Amino acid sequence: MVKVLRTVEELQRWRAQVRAAGRQVAFVPTMGSLHAGHLELMRAGRARVPAERGELVISIFVNPTQFNDANDLAAYPRDEAGDLALAAAEGVDVAFCPEPDALYPKGASTWVEVGGLDNHLCGASRPGHFRGVCTVVTKLWQLVAPDYGLFGRKDYQQLAILRRMHRDLFLCGEVVGVSTVREPDGLALSSRNVRLDPAARTQALAIPRFLDEVRARFEAGEREVEALLAGAGERLGAGEVHYVSAVDADDLQPVVRVEAPTLVALAVVFSGVRLIDNVLLEPGAS
């Protein structure tokens, strides 16, 4: 059985008991609508903190401050009972499921913002999004005080920003990045996939196909970004391309040649559903 905690006070009490018992904590923050990608994060957490040594904790909270679009927030899929059943099957000990005013009480006016890493990729078209993510993750991190916090590499920009925030604010524990989980046909798992109608679901396969082609061109020796991404618009088919960019994997600034680890990342909308994905190109890695 997963213990469900809903208030900050309950979570603080639980954390104090765990600390007093000398047990570790692995933490997977989520916005619910759990899929196999989240389950992979939980398994990675459990591998670091086995049941005999500590607690596996998730949060389920659709964070309003990271949505720029009220329709997107309203349409975000929610299924707490289903999520808790999946979490129980993964051996999750505790789920923190607060209401918005628990994390943003009346008058809350403190924000956490990481400079410099959000001017490209998703940050460019979603002003305030990463400020919302950083603010909520700081609040959750402060409360859960994990030994390990686990995040997917599909949201590479989010992971890079959270790593920087964690370092700059001297937060406890460690940020762990976990590989993207894909459907057998290559589509990256996302809570948004359930909103794709069958036609859009098929069209969205253009994303993994495109990224595979980029990797193949890179492995064949191509290093010029213009050539790697040539024809992206047509290659992504029916999707409305928000961006396709190649950026330095560390500082997330655009590059024109792949000379250091480089992220090719994209956001494409199919039938109103915005999907993101990426491939990391590492010169010198075999």
Q: Which residues are annotated as catalytic?
A: 38
Report the C-alpha gap between 143 and 8 in whole angstroms.
8
Q: How far is the CB of 218 from ligand PAF (least distance, A)?
A: 27
Q: Compute the half-sphere exposure of residue 102: CA atoms within 13 Å on the CB side of its CA.
A: 19
Selected range binding ligand PAF among 23-31, 99-107, 179-187, 274-282, rule: CB under 6 A? 23-31
Q: How many other C-beta atoms are found inside a 10 Å radius of the C-beta of residue 115?
A: 9
Q: Which amino acid is at 108?
A: A
Residue that is written with structure tokens 């036609």 in the block:
199
Task: Tell me the number of residues near ligand PAF by CB under 6 A.
Answer: 10
| CA contacts within 13 A on the Cβ side of 214 | 31
- 227: nearest Cα among 236, 219, 217, 235: 217
Distance of closest approach, residue 30 Cβ to ligand PAF, in angstroms? 5
By CB under 6 A, is residue 30 in contact with ligand PAF?
yes
- Window of 27-35, 44-52, 245-253, 259-267 that interacts with ligand PAF by CB under 6 A: 27-35
Per-residue x/- track, 123-142, ligand PAF (CB under 6 A): ----------x--xx-----
Binder among 11, 14, 18, 29 for ligand PAF (CB under 6 A): 29
Q: Which of residues 93, 147, 155, 277 is near ligand PAF by CB under 6 A? A: 155
DSSP 8-state code for residue 277: E
* Among 11, 18, 25, 31, contact with ligand PAF (rule: CB under 6 A): 31
Q: CB of 278 within 8 A of CB of 190?
A: no
- Using DSSP, state whether 38 is helix, strand or coil: helix
Minimum distance from CB of 232 to ligand PAF (Å)? Answer: 25
- β-pairing, 240-248 with 262-270? antiparallel
Q: H helices of 76-155, where?
A: 80-89, 100-103, 121-125, 129-144
In a 10 Å sphere around its CB, with 0-12 CB exposed, 13-18 middle and 19+ buried, how is residue 183 labelled?
Answer: middle
Task: Return the number of the residue (69 or 185) whose C-beta is nearest ligand PAF.
Answer: 69
> Closer CB to ligand PAF, residue 48 or residue 153?
153
Please give the residues from 205 up to 264 whose contact with ligand PAF meets the rule CB under 6 A: none
Instruction: Kindly tell me which of 27 and 270 has the beta carbon lying closer to ligand PAF.
Output: 27
Which lies closer to ligand PAF via its Cβ, residue 157 or residue 203?
157
Binding site residues, ligand PAF, CB under 6 A: 29-31, 63, 66, 133, 136-137, 155, 158
